Amino acid sequence: MTKNTVNSDVPAQGKMQEKSPEKSPKKAPDNAIVNEFVVRFANTNGTGSASANNMFAKAILRMGIPVSAKNIFPSNIQGMPTWYEVRISEKNYLGRRGGKSEMLVAMNAQSINDDITSVKSGGYLLYDSSRTLFDSQIRADINYLGVPISNICLKEYSDPRQRQLFKNVVYVGALAALLSMDFTLLKGLVRDQFKGKEKLITPNIYALELGYQYANEHFICPLAIHVESRDLINKRILVDGNTAIGLGAVFGGATVTGWYPITPSTSVIEKFASYCQRLRIDPASGKKNYAIVQVEDELAAIGVAIGAGWNGARAFTATSGPGISLMTEFLGLAYFTEIPFVLINVQRAGPSTGMPTRTQQADIIACAYASHGDTKQILLFPDSPHECFELGAQAFDIADQLQTPVIIMSDLDLGMNDHLSEEFVWQDDKAFQKGKVLSAQQLDEVEVFGRYLDVDGDGICYRTLPGTHTEKGAYFNRGTSRNHFAGYTEKSADYVDNMDRLTKKFINAINYLPEPEIQKGKKSAQLGLIFFGTTSHPIMEAIEQLKEHGLSVDTLRIKAFPFHQSIEQFIEEYSFNNKQIFVIEQNRDAQMKSLLVNELQIDPNKLASILNFDGLPITSHFIVQAVLAQLTANQAQQKTG
Amino acid sequence: MSFIKSKFRHPRLPVNDLGLTYRDYEGALSTLCAGCGHDSITSAIIQACHELSIQPSEVAKLSGIGCSSKAPNYFLNKSHGFNSVHGRMPSVATGANLANQELLYLAMSGDGDSASIGFGQFAHVVRRQLNMVYMVANNGVYGLTKGQLAATADKGVKNKAGELSLFTDIDLCVMALQLGASFVARSFSGDKQQLVPLIKAAMSHKGFAFIDIISPCVTFNNHVGSTRSYDYVHDHITTAAVVDFVPIKTEITSGYHSGESEDVCLHDGSIMRIQKLTDSYDSTNASQAIMEIEQQKQQGKILTGLFYLEPTASDFHEINNTNDTPLNKLTQDALCPGNRVLAGINDSFR
């Protein structure tokens, strides 16, 4: 086989990008793609690539260009392939696009063969040319950018760890030159990132410069694909959903959490803890206005939340996958005994251990009906960090007002990836809604107290907290059937009365829950798309593409369960006009469709499903292809029929 | 079993410092079998709370599932109670205590609840040093499901149906000692003289207080051949140390007068007078207590009394450095950082 090195041999096939001295590096090629492409980084996990890749994305953001990043990582600590996909889009298409990427940074010998095939024709492969590529790795239709990254680091650094870590910074420096990034801004970002660790600033900037210089000296910069500064970010922020929920819990007044580590929910609690350390220390005493316990398992985690909720503290826990299964018994207890708390479910690919570091929306049914017996749980479906923060705080009001668990249904994509999101908003004059909790004075005024007396007729009863009153208001909270006064009973009439009241409460719950987001054109559209959570990210792009196919689209984004009436109306309107409605989900079994059909008594044939469950965030390509395929199939059926 | 609880109260029932009578500490009528040891524990708890003038509304009762866990319904009607799920009371107690450290947490569990399904939760609540009184009504048998052997049943005994206990039994006191409980005792439901002072001391103790209470099941485990029957326990009981509890502000007048007694001052200023009955007893040595329990067991004896006490133990909140104001009483001002702080946080993501 022929060996190719970057500085000597030009490969027989493929275009080795080399700069001829007479060409001006500042002149952009005519076929330029500006601010509308995907850069994919192929790394090995545990090599420190994450922070360098993140720095790359953040630099694009600071140039005022909309950007999103997906970390596609293994359930492993060190040595396995990991990818980081940065979408740069001044059209604000920030979901995954699908298809091949315009630029690939190949830093992992293990995955390089597959990585090379994932480059778009005419695209670029930035690789470490310290090792030569094989002939089989040369594609004629892509451009090769060889930077001897390992050799540079070997020469410049003596510490083995530094040699490894700075490789990542060197390629970011090279990209800065190739893509025409604002280098001053990038250096400023390094200073920000290492604030407090000043010793690291100079070597990092030096590594950036090494890559930057090498690229400038050896390639025509910028490439045909590159970035140009814009002012398109406005007030948006780049942040992950788990951070947003953790912060939301601080603002929402959560004080108690029991938790057990599990990917991808762990960072919800870690972020909550780190914000508490900053924002929740009593200024007078220096003591904590919160209590976080890492407990023995998920059973205990939810038990802690329930114990605290019963005792009047705002409490929550976060979990994923198997943790949800373990918590279901307690969810039934909290539903039946009407104890408020918040559960964050950062969904991952199941069943069983499944793919712990891949995303799905496959816990819808398990959570909506969590626990044995007749149970129904309140679900919230945020789609952005902004909403994670908002609902992360609001969920405590909802739980307290409804006296029941509230489950926030996030997913790995939303929770762990950075998303460009509207900034977090808080209104200082908005008071916590603590619901129907009787004070000692109110108890004095009440003639008869019954924990399960439906005084207001809305199915929501008055509760009391331990220690409120010396004479009145005490009751025995129990998972067994009870009468209006919390006394044990096995009388059928009492049992049915209680279950009926719980149904009434659940129906009334929609008054406390966010309405669906409906987007309709002036004229009735040809298609209706129903979706929830992270599926909203590629929707805008999918709609534009469907328009190119002559299809107009209305959309409905579900934000909560139980369902508002407007969802039923939306579906009825379309089916009345004999148009197609798609429910787009990231699971195999069309769980949201099942829930809609079951709860709204809808004819299942009125709803078609688009199901992506490969563990990666759903793409606009996938949605468009699925819609077109289904419509084609329908037409074929009509012809034959 | 009675069906009606008399509302009549003797006009001259003795009152405590709060002006409350013994009956003010009672609960609903017990639905347990007549003669159940658990009812004796209930009355010991009532007596202890009455004599210590504990305000019932300042107590939170907690339990899991089983006959034992029904018991909190039968004492302290004016206290809130939480009958949770099987084996998970310790986590619920943890959450409740984290929310408000000012209440007295009285927990009742059973051998199935704590030594089997909830063994993990039991171990971890001990580790956490939660400030609570954790009582196990230990009868070596599953009552509510009619007589199956529990993990605390001695190896080699037979249940009423003749089924043999094949595996090593679990001693929850040994576990508690090993896991760092700061108050560990064993008693017998039929020995109120011993049990009441132990409960009082446990309630005054700051930190995790554990009492394993042998409480015979009259229906399913009171037969010949059982090592948890009334007769067997009476014949084989031996005591490490007798305890007399002297509440704060009370003049010390009574107690066991012997050269062997030792006064220990508890967290709240009350005094526990311990009289040792075995030579090797040392209330400050957990590993020695474990050895003593094992040695007595090998001789066919059930060792009771106070095994271990660490009077200056710390509890979860001390370790956590929680604010003295209970978390459930903090206002929005103390909890919500507000919009000005949020603006800075937003900037950190740009």
Residues of chain A positioned with their CB less than 8 A from the CB of B55 = 470
Position A1 pLDDT exceeds 60: no
User: CA-to-CA distance for A88 and A226, rounded, in angstroms?
Assistant: 10
Tokens linked to A148? 């001897």
A217 part of contact set with chain B, CB < 8 Å? no
If one compares A242 and B247, the residue with the highest pLDDT of the two is A242
* Banded pLDDT at A7 (limits 50, 70, 90): very low
A294 part of contact set with chain B, CB < 8 Å? no
Residues of chain B positioned with their CB less than 8 A from the CB of A474 = 56-57, 77-81
Position A545 pLDDT exceeds 80: yes
* Banded pLDDT at A641 (limits 50, 70, 90): low
pLDDT digits over A156-194, tens only?
999 999 999 999 999 999 999 999 999 999 999 999 988
> Residues of A numbered 486-505 whose beta carbons fall under 8 angstroms of chain B's beta carbons: which are they?
487-488
- Beta strands A67-72 and A81-89 are antiparallel
Tell me if A295 and B124 make a contact (CB, 8 A cut-off).
yes
Residue of A nearest to B117 (CA): A299
pLDDT at A261: 98
Tell me if A313 and B100 make a contact (CB, 8 A cut-off).
yes
Residue of B nearest to A332 (CA): B85
Sheet holding A580-585, edge to edge: A517-519, A553-558, A527-532, A580-585, A607-611
A357 part of contact set with chain B, CB < 8 Å? no
Q: Which of A64-78, B161-175, B246-260 has the lowest mean pLDDT?
A: B246-260
Q: Which of B75, B83, B328 to mutate to test the interface with A (most CBs of A within 10 A)?
A: B328
User: CA-to-CA distance for A537 and A150, rounded, in angstroms?
Assistant: 37
Per the CB < 8 A criterion, the answer to whether A211 and A171 are in contact is yes
Position B311 pLDDT exceeds 90: no
Tell me if A475 and B342 make a contact (CB, 8 A cut-off).
no
Q: Which of A1-5, A353-357, B43-47, B225-229 has the lowest mean pLDDT?
A: A1-5
Per the CB < 8 A criterion, the answer to whether A242 and A265 are in contact is yes
pLDDT at B312: 87
Position A200 pLDDT exceeds 50: yes
If one compares A570 and B255, the residue with the highest pLDDT of the two is A570
pLDDT digits over A227-265, tens only?
999 999 999 999 999 999 999 999 999 999 999 999 999
A309 part of contact set with chain B, CB < 8 Å? yes
* Banded pLDDT at B201 (limits 50, 70, 90): very high
**CATH code of the domain occupying A15-226:** 3.40.920.10
Position B255 pLDDT exceeds 80: no
Q: What is the DSSP letter of A119?
A: E
Position A610 pLDDT exceeds 60: yes
Region A42-62: mean pLDDT is 94
pLDDT at A399: 98
Tell me if B321 and A287 make a contact (CB, 8 A cut-off).
yes
CA distance B148 to chain A (A): 22
pLDDT at A11: 40
Residues of chain A positioned with their CB less than 8 A from the CB of B85 = 329-330, 333, 479
Region A468-478: mean pLDDT is 96
Residues of chain B positioned with their CB less than 8 A from the CB of A286 = 321
* Banded pLDDT at A152 (limits 50, 70, 90): very high
Per the CB < 8 A criterion, the answer to whether A397 and A511 are in contact is no
A366 contact partners, CB below 8 Å, separation of at least 6: A324, A325, A328
Q: Which of A234, A257, A280, A426 to mutate to test the interface with B (most CBs of B within 10 A)?
A: A426
Domains A239-421 and A517-640 alike in fold = yes
pLDDT at B249: 59
A432 part of contact set with chain B, CB < 8 Å? yes
Cα dihedral A580, A583, A588, A592 sign:
negative
pLDDT at B271: 84
* Banded pLDDT at B259 (limits 50, 70, 90): very low
- Dihedrals φ, ψ of A499, to 5°? -65, -40
pLDDT at A587: 98
Tell me if A466 and B96 make a contact (CB, 8 A cut-off).
yes
The one-letter code for the residue type at A520 is K
Per the CB < 8 A criterion, the answer to whether A369 and A380 are in contact is no
Residues of chain B positioned with their CB less than 8 A from the CB of A253 = 332, 335-336
Tell me if A289 and B346 make a contact (CB, 8 A cut-off).
no
pLDDT at B2: 59
SS (H, E, C) chain B: CCCCCCCCCCCCCCCCCCCCCHHHHECCCCCCCCCCHHHHHHHHHHHHHHHCCCCHHHEEEEECCCHHHHHHHHECCCCEEEECCCCCHHHHHHHHHHHCCCCEEEEEEEHHHHHHCCHHHHHHHHHCCCCEEEEEEECCEECCCCCEECCCCCCCCECCCCCECCCCCCCHHHHHHHCCCCEEEEEECCCHHHHHHHHHHHHHCCCEEEEEEECCCCCCCCCCCCCCCHHHHHHHEEECEEEEEECCCCCCCCCCCCCCEEEEECCCCCEEEEEECCCCCCCCCHHHHHHHHHHHHHCCCEEEEEEEECCCCCCHHHHHCECCCCHHHCCHHHHCCCHHHHHHHHHCCC
Tell me if A237 and B350 make a contact (CB, 8 A cut-off).
yes
pLDDT at A239: 97
Nearest Cβ partner of A467 from B102, B337, B341?
B102
Position B187 pLDDT exceeds 80: yes
Q: How big is the A-B interface in CB pairs under 8 Å?
A: 219
Q: Which residues pair with B273 in a beta bridge?
A: B244, B263
CA distance B30 to chain A (A): 12
User: Does residue A222 have a cis bond before it (omega within 30 degrees)?
Assistant: yes
pLDDT digits over B60-70, tens only?
999 999 999 99
Domain ranges in chain A are 15-226, 239-421, 440-505, 517-640
pLDDT at B11: 80
Per the CB < 8 A criterion, the answer to whether B183 and B315 are in contact is no
CA distance A275 to chain B (A): 10
Nearest Cβ partner of B346 from A303, A315, A423?
A423
A427 part of contact set with chain B, CB < 8 Å? yes
Tell me if A474 and B80 make a contact (CB, 8 A cut-off).
yes
Residues of chain B positioned with their CB less than 8 A from the CB of A471 = 57, 78
Tell me if A238 and B350 make a contact (CB, 8 A cut-off).
yes
If one compares B247 and A271, the residue with the highest pLDDT of the two is A271
CA distance A2 to chain B (A): 47
* CATH superfamily, region B22-325: Thiamin diphosphate (ThDP)-binding fold, Pyr/PP domains (3.40.50.970)
A279 part of contact set with chain B, CB < 8 Å? yes
CA distance B76 to chain A (A): 10
Q: ipTM of the predicted structure?
A: 0.94
CA distance B185 to chain A (A): 25
Position A30 pLDDT exceeds 80: no
- Nearest in space to A382 (alpha carbons), one of A430, A424, A429: A424
Domain ranges in chain B are 22-325
Q: Which of A247, A296, A342, A396 to mutate to test the interface with B (most CBs of B within 10 A)?
A: A296
User: CA-to-CA distance for A546 and B167, rounded, in angstroms?
Assistant: 68
pLDDT digits over A550-572, tens only?
999 999 999 999 999 999 999 99
**Tokens 């206290």 found at:** B79
If one compares A397 and B10, the residue with the highest pLDDT of the two is A397
In terms of C-beta distances under 8 Å and separation of at least 24 residues, what long-range contacts does A626-635 make, across chains too? A626/A582, A627/A527, A627/A542, A627/A546, A627/A551, A627/A582, A628/A549, A630/A580, A630/A582, A631/A551, A631/A580, A634/A580
Nearest Cβ partner of B346 from A304, A424, A470?
A424
- Could you please state the CATH topology (level 3) that the domain comprising A239-421 is classified under: Rossmann fold (3.40.50)
Tokens linked to A34? 């500006």
**Tokens 């689209």 found at:** A553
User: CA-to-CA distance for B237 and A551, rounded, in angstroms?
Assistant: 86
pLDDT digits over B68-109, tens only?
999 999 999 999 999 999 999 999 999 999 999 999 999 999
pLDDT at B256: 41
- Average pLDDT value over all residues in chain B: 91
**Tokens 């010396």 found at:** A470
- Average pLDDT value over all residues in chain A: 94
Tell me if B345 and A247 make a contact (CB, 8 A cut-off).
yes
Residues of chain A positioned with their CB less than 8 A from the CB of B73 = 476, 488
Region B252-278: mean pLDDT is 68
Residue of A nearest to B341 (CA): A279
Position A21 pLDDT exceeds 80: no
Q: Which helix or strand (DSSP H or E) is residue A406 part of? A: strand A405-411
pLDDT at B254: 41
pLDDT at A525: 87
pLDDT at B275: 77
User: CA-to-CA distance for A451 and A463, rounded, in angstroms?
Assistant: 6
pLDDT at A471: 95
Per the CB < 8 A criterion, the answer to whether A531 and A584 are in contact is yes
- Could you please state the CATH topology (level 3) that the domain comprising A517-640 is classified under: Rossmann fold (3.40.50)
If one compares B5 and A297, the residue with the highest pLDDT of the two is A297
CA distance B6 to chain A (A): 18
Dihedral angle over CA of A494, A495, A498, A504, nearest 10 = -120
Nearest Cβ partner of A293 from B56, B94, B324?
B94
